Structure 1
Amino acid sequence: MKMLLPPRFLLLAALSAAGPPTLLAQTQPSALPTAPLPAGTMPLSLHQAVSYAVQNKPSLLATRLAEETARARVGEIRSAGLPQVNIASTVSNNFKLQKSLVDFSALGGGSTVTPLTAADIAAAQAGQTVNIKPVTLPSEPVPPQAFAFGLQYAGNASASVSQLLFDGSYLIGLKAAKVYTDLARKQTQQAEIDVVEQVSKAYYSTLVARSRLALLARNVQRLDTVLYQTNQTFKAGFVEKLDVDRLRVQRNNLVVEYQKAQRLTELSVALLKFQMGLPQQQSIQLTDSLGAAVVDATALRQRLGAASFSSGGAGQDAVPTATAPTTDNAPAQNRADQQNALSGGLPPAALGALNYNNRIEFSTLETQQALAGLDLRNRQAGAYPRLVLTGAYGFSGSAKSPGDLFAFRGPNSRSSNGFPNQNWFGFGNVGLSLQVPVFDGFRRRYQVQQGRIAQQTIEKGFETLRQSIDLQDAQSRTTLVNALDVLDNQKANLDLATDVARVTRIKFNAGVGSNLEVITAETELRSAQTNYYGAIYDVLVAKVDRDKATGELYNQVKK
């Protein structure tokens, strides 16, 4: 979630009158006022802040849950190749049996009768054996009759198993599942890099704000001393009351600015806790010093191949003057100059050293390209046959009543009169199922075409991403160099303003200067301090942006 208050506002709005700061390279942690840590205060360095955020920020934890979802998805895809076993059981009440028409006349001839004559009767009475043969009468045409098959209650219990033997899409899906997991991991790493950037900038913002607030508190004390001395001089009759009133107005404004700076510092601390995922009730104590946070400007310029503020050139003693092109091809020279300006003055060998693989965006796009290739192969594999081994075994039964159905009588069961009364019968089968796609209305053809277009789109995206990385590299380098130049300039202005304010105070104390000159010098000093601390923050933020552009931000903070 983006904050509506820009960090620069949190920093610059807290500026007011402050005393002359020491050089950043010489600032020691002990130079800033430190308070004893209360119970429950959390010591916090930049490394600890980043580590805590990476482990506890809710948005990042949600991203890791998505990574866990990807792993579960891989297991789901892999499970399709394992044996599939199912057990099913049904009981039904056929309260109205379905009937079918049956042509009973097609089963054979007509009815059968046994003829008995008077001679046969007489022979039987005489004790003789009589052989009587049945006679089949000619069948008469009978229309089909409705006949119901089965009984009212029926049951079925079975177990089935199937095993996928061959499926081209499944084999490709296994490869795609591994790549999909890698993509989820890289997306998590991208989220971690964003968190590192946000926490680093918020930490620097809080560090600068607290250092400035401590400096402002010391200046309030110094101004109170000057006001007291001026008031005593007024009582002695050497200065006017107007001089005292002007200092009192300046002191009141300084106190108001200190209170504003204090509130904005608390707001910067709250922003840092938010970026870390730390509860707002937890008190923290920043342990890094501002001097350790600011990089050495000269070494940084040499690494970037940029000019220094004092000389205007790297390793040169004077600002170079423009010379006329030595070549007759002026347009080509202009293009070369533009390329040199965009590259920050780096030689071609240094430009080639930029490793795109350091950027997680490039690596993520490579993974997406691999997924697109597997997706294309999966669509092409839709033309392959699919072979499945199947098998089933179970029992089915029927009866006229529920009690009779659940009697579960097998093949050896007999009734009281000795007749078989089995009501459940077993069944089983094994088989192979082969599915061969023949024609699908060119659906697969268009799917393959879409997959190839998706691949080409990603390939075009590589060139766009390379150009974007090159632009970010040039922008971050230029922004950092400009910030360093501005920092040097503001440091020089601050030294001058500090010296002017010092001399003005000496002249005023000696009685050869006016109170108005002192107030003007103090106002200019406050402005110089505001610009100086703003330049410090700009350098720190530009350094973070530069490390992110080169893909080194996360690794540097983790060291």
Structure 2
Amino acid sequence: MKNNLRVLLLAAGPGLLAPAGAALAQTAPASQPALAVQPTAGNMPLSLQQAVAYAIQNKPTLLATRLGEQTARAKVGEIRSAGLPQVSVAANVADNFKLQKSLVDFGALGGGSSATTLTPADITAAQSGRTVNLGTVSLPSEPVPPQAFAFGLQWAGNTSASVSQLLFDGAYLIGLKAAKVYEQLAQKQTQQAEIDVVEQVSKAYYSTLVARERLQLLSRNVQRLDTILYQTNETFKAGFAEKLDVQRLQVQRNNLVVEQQKAQRLTELSVALLKFQMGLDQSQQVQLTDSLSNALVDAGSLRQRLGAASPTTGGGVSGLGGVPTGTAPASTNTADQRQQDQQTALSGARTGQLAAAFNYNNRIEFSTLETQQALAGLDLANRRAGAYPRLLATAAYGFSGSAKEAGDLFAFRGPDSRSSNGFPNQNWFGFGNVGLSLQIPVFDGFRRKYVVQQARIQQQTIERGFETLRQSIDLQDAQSRTTLINALDVLDNQKANLDLAGEVARVSRIKFQEGVGSNLEVVTAETELRSAQTNYYAALYDVLVAKVDRDKATGELYSQAQK
């Protein structure tokens, strides 16, 4: 029982210090999403919510994690079974082909030998016809040495049933408490795996949306360039343009087609990655139903949530620079607190208001570490319980028999059996017993003392891990906040560059068509436009990924994926 409990308590041993360096996630709801779709013969419609729900239900790594959860429940059942009655049945048959002998002192059973006395008077009386009573006397004799004697018969059998019931065991009582905690730990590990899958699927889905949108934009660019090339070629045939102008546009088109082909392959690769993260077969065709416009975030409201000012307006869409409304810590000096918050914000950390609004319990690692701490406490109590006595109730009943021949052994003759001459010939006899077994540990060479020390140190190590985990969460929170703000700034800048590049390309085409601009100017403008488009979509993807990382850092990723 104690060994089983120790295995249960130490099953999470490799992960006791994991929060200090492990990937950070957040708590997921216990209920499973109800939006999962099933593979179909044709295109399977797939929104982000459906992709997440399908992955949670079908991702092989998650299925393996849930098997681990079932294993934990089975281990709990194993621990609880130690408190139920233990029943065993045994039977055996033995051929004593050489019986063991023992020395027996027969002389101790009665000493000497006897003889009859006959005197001359007795002889005379007998000759005269009278009756004579003869007497006996004991004669001294040499003592008989112990003799070897074999007890039992060649064939022997035994069958019995025994029952034991645990009445008191301190380790078992602690094991009952640890069973529920251990099961909770397995459930939280499953939740953390689900959160990781949500993150992976979300990023893969956004990557596919961006790749698809960029591919469509490249297709429109090719069509637009084909139109310009056709017009320039017709102008060349009419003698109003140089062949060099046509060749420049042809080179531009060839490069654009190659870029389009590369984008097509990258889009296919993005879809394959999405299927992999979902646990979906690669042969299944999918149709993404969400659009990139729906995935875009409200930069203004998001900046207000982050407490960050817009680089253009100074404070989100309204320019007011709103910040979260969490209750700030009490301070006797508001000016000093404001200055401290400004310095903290400049360093990338959370201000007092943001820190007050942050809840560490939203992170699954924090809850998991609390569960591991509880298990460590139970492990310590279990090792201390090794000094408690252990009491069991026992009972047994069975039969044993013997015979000279194997066939005679299985005759199973009871107490009413008689031989042909009337003598009892019973060969099987019953036996039974009931009792209590009390085991009291007295001295184990100080072993328990040292294992208790180890358990206490392990518990202290976990307690130190809480501070490390808080620092890790604070760091990821600051990093995700800074990364998202930077990504929003870059996106705003790239959007402005894209608008400017589009306007420059439009004006350049008009000037060329009107004969007041050069073909080189059009080629240059188109090149800059494609560069701006590439930078814009890269910045857009960075924002979406940074938003996922931010939601993960604050413990909102799972709930955000369901909206």
Which bracket does the TM-score occupy, shorter chain normalised? 0.7 to 0.9
The alpha carbon displacement at 1:64 in A equals: 0.2
Q: Is the contact between residue 491 and residue 536 of structure 2 (CA under 8 Å) also seen in structure 1?
A: yes
Per the alignment, residue 29 of structure 2 pairs with none
1:387 pairs, out of 388, 391, 397, with: 391
Per the alignment, residue 402 of structure 2 pairs with 398
Per the alignment, residue 13 of structure 1 pairs with none
1:55-89 deviation per Cα after TM superposition (whole angstroms, max 9, x unaligned): 00111000000000000001000000000011100
SS in 1 for 2:220: helix
Q: Residue type matched to 1:491 in 2?
A: K
The alpha carbon displacement at 1:340 in A equals: 2.6
Per the alignment, residue 346 of structure 2 pairs with 341
Q: Report percent identity of matched pairs.
A: 79
Per the alignment, residue 273 of structure 1 pairs with 275
1:488 paired with 2:496, answer: no
Instruction: Report matched runs for 1:159-558 at 5 Å.
Output: 159-313=161-315, 316=319, 338-343=343-348, 347-558=351-562
2:153 pairs, out of 140, 151, 154, with: 151
The alpha carbon displacement at 1:128 in A equals: 7.8
Per the alignment, residue 110 of structure 1 pairs with 112
- Give the number of aligned pairs: 510
Query: Partners in 2 of 1:340 and 1:137 — Cα distance?
Result: 121
Q: Residue type matched to 1:208 in 2?
A: V
CA distance 1:317–1:433, shift in 2 (3 Å): closer
Q: Residue type matched to 2:102 in 1?
A: S
Q: Is the contact between residue 303 and residue 315 of structure 2 (CA under 8 Å) also seen in structure 1?
A: no
Gaps of 5+ in 2: 1-38, 322-335
Q: Residue type matched to 1:290 in 2?
A: L
Q: Which moved more, 1:172-181 or 1:146-155?
A: 146-155
The alpha carbon displacement at 1:139 in A equals: 4.7
Q: Is the contact between residue 341 and residue 352 of structure 2 (CA under 8 Å) also seen in structure 1?
A: no
Per the alignment, residue 327 of structure 2 pairs with none
Q: Residue type matched to 2:518 in 1?
A: S
Q: Is the contact between residue 92 and residue 159 of structure 2 (CA under 8 Å) also seen in structure 1?
A: yes
1:454-475 deviation per Cα after TM superposition (whole angstroms, max 9, x unaligned): 1100000000001111111111
1:117-162 deviation per Cα after TM superposition (whole angstroms, max 9, x unaligned): 7877888899987766665443523333222221111000000000
Q: Is the contact between residue 182 and residue 375 of structure 2 (CA under 8 Å) also seen in structure 1?
A: yes
Q: Is the contact between residue 391 and residue 437 of structure 2 (CA under 8 Å) also seen in structure 1?
A: yes
Q: Is the contact between residue 481 and residue 550 of structure 2 (CA under 8 Å) also seen in structure 1?
A: yes
Q: Which moved more, 1:267-276 or 1:133-142?
A: 133-142
Q: Is the contact between residue 501 and residue 525 of structure 1 (CA under 8 Å) also seen in structure 2?
A: yes
1:421-464 deviation per Cα after TM superposition (whole angstroms, max 9, x unaligned): 11111100011000111111111111111111111000000000
Q: Residue type matched to 2:100 in 1?
A: Q
The alpha carbon displacement at 1:412 in A equals: 1.0
Query: Partners in 1 of 2:125 and 2:344 — Cα distance?
Result: 135
CA distance 1:38–1:72, shift in 2 (3 Å): closer
Query: Partners in 1 of 2:218 and 2:134 — Cα distance?
Result: 136
SS in 2 for 1:238: coil
Q: Is the contact between residue 412 and residue 420 of structure 1 (CA under 8 Å) also seen in structure 2?
A: yes
Per the alignment, residue 86 of structure 2 pairs with 84
Query: Partners in 1 of 2:127 and 2:548 — Cα distance?
Result: 128
User: RMSD of aligned C-alpha atoms?
Assistant: 2.4
SS in 2 for 1:307: coil
Query: Partners in 2 of 1:476 and 1:190 — Cα distance?
Result: 19
Query: Partners in 1 of 2:93 and 2:76 — Cα distance?
Result: 37
* TM-score (norm: length of structure 2): 0.86
Q: Is the contact between residue 394 and residue 437 of structure 2 (CA under 8 Å) also seen in structure 1?
A: yes
1:60 paired with 2:62, answer: yes
Query: Partners in 1 of 2:142 and 2:88 — Cα distance?
Result: 52
The alpha carbon displacement at 1:313 in A equals: 4.2
Query: Partners in 1 of 2:499 and 2:374 — Cα distance?
Result: 58
CA distance 1:109–1:506, shift in 2 (3 Å): same
Query: Partners in 2 of 1:366 and 1:126 — Cα distance?
Result: 117
SS in 1 for 2:163: strand
The alpha carbon displacement at 1:111 in A equals: 3.8
Per the alignment, residue 74 of structure 1 pairs with 76
Q: Is the contact between residue 494 and residue 539 of structure 2 (CA under 8 Å) also seen in structure 1?
A: yes
CA distance 1:554–1:336, shift in 2 (3 Å): closer
Q: Residue type matched to 2:470 in 1?
A: R
The alpha carbon displacement at 1:216 in A equals: 1.2
CA distance 1:492–1:121, shift in 2 (3 Å): farther
1:377-407 deviation per Cα after TM superposition (whole angstroms, max 9, x unaligned): 1111111100000010000001111011001
The alpha carbon displacement at 1:232 in A equals: 0.4
The alpha carbon displacement at 1:220 in A equals: 1.3
Query: Partners in 1 of 2:295 and 2:129 — Cα distance?
Result: 135
Q: Is the contact between residue 341 and residue 351 of structure 2 (CA under 8 Å) also seen in structure 1?
A: no
Per the alignment, residue 15 of structure 1 pairs with none
Q: Which moved more, 1:208-217 or 1:293-302?
A: 208-217
CA distance 1:103–1:234, shift in 2 (3 Å): same
Q: Is the contact between residue 109 and residue 137 of structure 1 (CA under 8 Å) also seen in structure 2?
A: no
Q: Is the contact between residue 343 and residue 351 of structure 1 (CA under 8 Å) also seen in structure 2?
A: no
CA distance 1:222–1:336, shift in 2 (3 Å): closer
SS in 2 for 1:192: helix
Q: Which moved more, 1:116-125 or 1:495-504?
A: 116-125
Q: Residue type matched to 1:222 in 2?
A: R
Q: Is the contact between residue 161 and residue 392 of structure 1 (CA under 8 Å) also seen in structure 2?
A: yes
The alpha carbon displacement at 1:110 in A equals: 3.0
Query: Partners in 1 of 2:528 and 2:126 — Cα distance?
Result: 152
Query: Partners in 2 of 1:198 and 1:126 — Cα distance?
Result: 132
